[in-house]
Structure 1
Amino acid sequence: MPYHLDEHLPDLDIPLPSGDDVTTVTATLPEADTWTRLGRLYEPVAEAVADVVRNDKVPVVVSGDCTASLGTVTGLQRAAVDPSVVWFDAHGDVQTVETTASGYLGGMPLRILVGYRPELISERLGLRVVPEDRVMLVDARDLDPPEADYLATSGIRRCGVEEVSADALPPGPLLLHMDLDVIDPGELAGLRYPAAGGPTASSVLRAARRVLDTGRVVAMDIGCTWHPGREDLGDTRSRVLSALISGG
């Protein structure tokens, strides 16, 4: 999905393997508010995910932000899979329209998944709520005060990258969501919202491997949250995406 929210980015550098298993999802979006446009965009994502799951395969959705996860979870639910969520991110993604200082919708998808204001987009997609106690938020080192306040009393579990283990994961089938800005920006250049002090790419991949080794991952969602046209220092993007998509 070469998009950042509803902005089509055909030049977004996402180093994916070539082959028949790679499909590019685009959509003709109406002149409308952003939520309506995102709903139109995530409809084909949901259908593509559902089709892959019905064929007993594991879909990997790769996009320029984290809101695409709404389409991924919708697709899983359409295929009769109710996933728990393991969410790797430098940020909390639990802002709301009422609390955000920036107005950035990409800071809200996890909050929407757990039930915030379904009329914005969930109802039009048919997205059902993921219970808070079936969500694990990994890292989230850069939180705005309203996010910290919400997480302090919510059922969402938090842990560091090194603390991820099979025993700590929520129950049931898993969506593994990976915003690549969880990696320290010194190693991953060109990020839209870099947050200093993050883990290395290698430690993130080891943690992802521990999740994948459970055999419970039914879909993966990867946010390539960088600006188009920025240099891939040390081929970190290629290395990380190759490792995640290959399952190792």
Structure 2
Amino acid sequence: MAGHSTAGTWEPIVTPWHLDEALRNFPVPVTATQVIVPPLPDGSVAARMNRLHQAAADVVAQASRPLVLSGDCPTSRAAVSVVQRRHQDLAVVWLDAHGDFNTPVITTSGYLGGMALAMLTGRTPDLFDDTLGLTPLPDTSVVLADGRDLDPAERDSLNASQVRRVSADPTAVASALGDLGPTPVYLHLDIDVIDSAELRGARFPSGPGPSLSQIEECLTAACAIADVRGAYLACAWLPDHVGQPTSRDTITRLTRALGADLAWPESGGH
């Protein structure tokens, strides 16, 4: 499989949102090609998210190799729908402390952010209007790395699926990618996969897990072995932490492991 050296330069795109909530302190690198801040209509959270996702897809479509920085996981619908148009046999590697495999039927909280991977695999067909043209990914094209924090029904759903589950370890991730064969890859990372003791201010801390250094190694290994055509970093910090210097440093390290070199405003703000 071809590594990132042949896949082109990353084009950072920022979606400073958590679900339908704008994140005012979200860090925006000066190297970002665009910041997605569309006006959202009044209505349900899902309807507002659907509008946001369409706006994000329109922007991502302009990037040959998109690197999306977002405040949540569900906006991955937009990025995947675009990359999928270019590569119908797309595989997804999902590094996350959570499974994101809940659905409106089995969720105990109703939290839409916990359904992002279920959305991509066609398990939430009535949640959004079908404006993105997203084709449900086959379970066999999905690798979930870590997923240590699961709800009981979510765990049962994953166990009944054909999603491949591996540890967030560079050797395990590389092995899973090798088994997928010469398939274009979309790489998704939620920062809460990192050990909670090392990660300040996460929205949903999940206790002991892989270190930041280990996750960097996972990303480097993935880009070395796979044809990574799109990537997504869910910067799932609390609103008052997402713009902190420590958070920006973490983003910088993770994106550097992907082969991107972000630059920030001297003030550290927008």
Partner residue of 2:210 out of 199, 204, 217: 199
The 1-side partners of 2:227 and 2:185 are apart by 6
- Partner of residue 8, structure 1: 22
Distance 1:189 1:207, change over 3 A: same
- The alpha-carbon deviation at position 106 of structure 1 amounts to 0.1
Tell me whether 1:142 sits opposite 2:156 in the alignment.
no
Give the distance between the partners of 2:41 and 2:167, measured in 1 at CA. Answer: 40
- Taking the aligned partners of 2:24 and 2:246, their CA distance within structure 1 comes to 21
| Native 8 Å contact 1:188 1:236 kept in 2 | no
Question: What aligned pairs does 1:26-65 form with structure 2 within 5 A after superposition?
Answer: 26-53=37-64, 58-65=65-72
Taking the TM superposition and a 5 Å limit, the aligned residue runs for 1:81-160 are 81-121=88-128, 123-160=130-167
Q: Please give the per-residue CA displacement for 1:63-93, whole angstroms capped at 9, x wherever unaligned.
A: 1010111011111133455421000000000
Query: Which residue of 2 is the match for residue 168 of structure 1?
Result: 176
Q: Does the C-alpha gap of structure 1 residues 44 and 149 become closer, same or farther in structure 2, counting only changes over 3 Å? A: same
Count of residue pairs brought into register by the alignment: 241
Q: Amino acid of the residue matched to residue 94 of structure 1?
A: F
Structure 2 Cα separation of the partners of residues 7 and 164 of structure 1: 35
Relative to structure 2, which stretch is displaced further, 177-186 or 232-241?
Answer: 232-241
**Could you list the runs of 5+ residues in structure 1 that have no partner in the other structure?**
none
Amino acid at match of 2:250: R
- Residue 229 (structure 1) shift: 2.2
Q: Distance in 2 between matches of 1:189 and 1:105?
A: 23
1:172-192: CA deviation from partner (whole Å, max 9, x where unpaired) = 110000001000111110000
TM-score (norm 2): 0.83
Matched residue SS, 1:51? coil
Q: 1:218 aligns with which of 225, 229, 249?
A: 229
State how far apart, in whole Å, the 1-side matches of 2:210 and 2:73 are.
19
Aligned-residue identity in percent: 37
| TM-score in terms of structure 1 length | 0.90
How far residue 240 of structure 1 moved from its aligned partner, in angstroms, is: 2.5
Stretches of structure 2 lacking an aligned partner (at least 5 in a row):
1-14, 262-270
Structure 1 match to 2:250: 237
Superposed CA RMSD: 2.0
